[in-house]
């Protein structure tokens, strides 16, 4: 605190924003490059210098920084992955690692940082901002769409369409051979990707971490299919379902129903890649510009979100501690249509 002309204590003003850093962290998601482009160009339009931090928090610790100009982000809007690369960092989880990261930011004269990632990335930003008063603003980038406070995360729409396209092809061979396919999609703690892709594909059963009622639906489907000799079908499985992944669940079904032709398809990392959809590009752009607006407005430790297509600011401590709930009505709709 300092004393003003009236002899009263006043809070010292934050240094005027001159240079920002930007990095991607955690799992990559289509549309991250669109966000990088928007952040960079919005910052430059506001006379700010921009530094790209490569390889997430590990790159921050090691000072792996590059200056970004408008031309450096040209041609990346339509590309998947992240031009700044991403990496896990065990070192950043330690106080010593975070001190190194702060010293590198200070050495590079970076006044504020935009982080694109999920709840783990925002947790790291929150801790560092509390320890060293670093100004962070987050943009949610994860294909799981599981962040609290926002209807949408960058990469979700592209991943959803990737899953739908893959499952549509799997259904062709399932019908041709009379097989039941257990298709596993990403979603360790959240089943939104499995839920919506399952409805879009007309899956007979959808298994997600948020509900165990669907396991009864699986038993009914198998019994009905076995009785009527209609044994082809799709069972969508989120990898975090409490009964295990698709391999474990399918193996149990094989044991209980040896007459059924059961197959497993784990879509894996193809869900993360590919050209972002128009929706991902547009939303990433909106969020990127909003992140710079928030920094210029002296916002700190917030996530940029979308609520009914409108930009909102969500405190990091809420975004990382509270759960994103699914619309259980979608499960009811799925049951209704599979009569």
Distance CA 43, CA 67 (A): 13
The pTM for the full model equals 0.91
For the chain, 339 residues long, give each residue's pLDDT as a single digit of tens.
445 555 555 555 567 899 999 999 999 999 999 999 999 999 999 999 999 999 999 999 999 999 999 999 999 999 999 999 999 899 999 999 999 999 999 999 999 999 999 999 999 999 999 999 999 999 999 999 989 999 999 999 999 999 999 999 999 999 899 899 999 999 877 889 999 999 999 999 999 988 877 888 888 888 876 556 566 899 999 997 777 789 999 999 999 989 889 999 999 999 999 999 999 999 999 999 999 999 999 999 999 999 999 999 999 999 988 777 777 788 888 878 876
Q: Which of 135, 101, 119 is nearest to 19 (CA)?
A: 135
User: Residue 35: its pLDDT value, please?
Assistant: 98
Between strands 205-207 and 49-53, the pairing is: unpaired
Domain limits, the chain: 2-155+276-321, 156-272
User: Residue 1: its pLDDT value, please?
Assistant: 46
Fold designation for 156-272: Rossmann fold (3.40.50)
DSSP letter string over 286-297? HHHHHHHHHHHT
Q: C-alpha 164: how far from its chain's center?
A: 18
Distance CA 111, CA 96 (A): 21
State the DSSP H helix or E strand holding residue 20, giving kind and residue range, or none if neither.
Answer: strand 19-24
- Residue 144 known to be catalytic: yes
**CATH hierarchy code of domain 2-155+276-321:** 3.40.50.450
State the DSSP H helix or E strand holding residue 221, giving kind and residue range, or none if neither.
Answer: helix 214-228
Q: Which of 249, 238, 170 is nearest to 207 (CA)?
A: 238
User: Residue 10: its pLDDT value, please?
Assistant: 52
The answer to whether the 2-155+276-321 and 156-272 domains have the same CATH topology is yes
Distance CA 57, CA 309 (A): 30
Distance CA 210, CA 89 (A): 29
Distance CA 117, CA 327 (A): 23
Which of 64, 144, 146, 280 does the annotation list as catalytic? 144
Decide: 274 and 33 in contact? Cβ < 8 Å.
no
| Residue 23, beta-bridge partner list | 115
158: its two tokens: 């592209």
User: Residue 226: its pLDDT value, please?
Assistant: 55
User: Residue 2: its pLDDT value, please?
Assistant: 47
Q: What is the 8-class DSSP label of residue 154? A: B
């Amino acid at each position: 605190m300092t004393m003003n002309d009236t002899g009263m204590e006043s809070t010292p003003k934050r240094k005027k924003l001159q240079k920002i850093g930007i990095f991607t962290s955690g799992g990559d998601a289509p549309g991250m490059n669109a966000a990088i482009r928007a952040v960079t160009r919005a910052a430059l339009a506001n006379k700010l210098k921009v530094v790209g931090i490569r390889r997430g928090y590990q790159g921050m610790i090691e000072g792996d920084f590059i200056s970004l100009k408008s031309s450096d982000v040209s041609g990346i809007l339509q590309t998947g992955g992240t031009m700044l690369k991403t990496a896990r960092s065990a070192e950043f989880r330690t106080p010593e690692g975070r001190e190194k990261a702060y010293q590198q930011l200070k050495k590079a004269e970076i006044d504020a940082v935009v982080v694109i990632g999920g709840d783990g990335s925002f947790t790291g930003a929150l801790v560092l901002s509390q320890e060293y008063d670093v100004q962070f603003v987050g943009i949610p980038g994860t294909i799981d769409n599981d962040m609290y406070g926002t209807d949408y995360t960058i990469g979700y729409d592209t991943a959803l369409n990737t899953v739908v396209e893959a499952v549509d092809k799997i259904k062709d061979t399932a019908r041709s051979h009379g097989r039941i396919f257990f298709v596993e999609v990403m979603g360790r703690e959240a089943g939104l990707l499995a839920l919506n892709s399952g409805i879009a594909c007309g899956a007979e059963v959808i298994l997600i971490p948020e509900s165990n009622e669907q396991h009864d639906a699986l038993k009914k489907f198998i019994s009905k299919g076995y009785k009527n000799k209609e044994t082809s079908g799709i069972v969508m499985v989120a990898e975090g379902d409490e009964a295990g992944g698709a391999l474990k669940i399918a193996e149990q079904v094989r044991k209980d129903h040896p007459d059924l032709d059961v197959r497993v398809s784990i879509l894996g990392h193809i869900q993360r890649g590919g050209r972002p959809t128009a929706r991902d590009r547009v939303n990433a752009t909106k969020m990127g510009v909003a992140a710079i607006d928030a920094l210029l407005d002296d916002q700190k430790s917030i996530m940029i979100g979308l609520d009914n297509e409108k930009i909102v600011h969500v405190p990091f401590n809420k975004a990382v501690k509270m759960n994103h709930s699914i619309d259980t009505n979608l499960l009811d709709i799925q049951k209704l249509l599979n009569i």
